[in-house]
Amino acid sequence: ADQIDSDYNMIKGGGGALLREKILISSSQKFVIVAQANKFVDKFTIAVPVEVIPFGRNFVMKELKQIGGLPKMRMLDKGYPFITENGNIIYDTLLPKYDNLKETERDIKNIPGVIEVGLFTDLAHCYYKITGENDFEHVTPKRG
């Protein structure tokens, strides 16, 4: 997990494998997150990865801006776009607010050309927050 908010939603995809991660999670009976305490935040402060087919990159960028996002194509140090294992690009997108994440995820996924979004809502069955060298907290989110 890149960040986990106070409602136990996550931003994942910093490594660029968000589509494959969602496929694996969706096909699993249980999904458990183990993360350092510094990954747990009250509100998200980082960009959300959005995986996009290269053909749709300009249109998707325009649409992400239209919904208030600030997309930035993920680049390699050499100046080339980062390409996922699936041959797609990533727009790291700062959102104007991180409320109604299910709705936000749906709105972004409805943009033609978007393959997946790095918002993971209501997917983990439990979390282990590493609080020290030999210490952790176990959390099972309440689902409404």
Is 21 in the active site?
Answer: yes
What's CA 113's distance to the chain center, in Å? 17
Query: Is pLDDT above 70 for 113?
Result: yes
The pTM (predicted TM-score) of the whole model is 0.91
pLDDT above 90: residue 140? no
Token pair belonging to 8: 């136990």
Mean pLDDT of 98-126: 93
- The structural domains of the chain, with segments of one domain joined by +, span 3-139
User: Is the model's pLDDT at 122 over the cut of 90?
Assistant: no
Q: Which residues pair with 24 in a beta bridge?
A: none
Please pick, among 21, 51, 105, 116, the residue that the annotation labels catalytic: 21
If you ran DSSP here, which 8-state letter would residue 15 be given?
A: T
Would you list the DSSP string of 44-55? --SPEEEEE-GG
Q: Please state which of the four CATH numbers 1.10.340.30, 3.30.470.20, 3.30.70.260, 3.10.20.340 is assigned to the domain occupying 3-139.
A: 3.30.70.260
CA 54, distance to chain mean position in Å, is 19
- pLDDT one-digit tens code per residue, 39-67: 999 999 999 999 999 999 999 999 999 99
Rounded distance, CA 122 to CA 100, Å? Answer: 12
Give residues with Cβ within 8 angstroms of 131, minimum separation 6. Answer: 37, 137
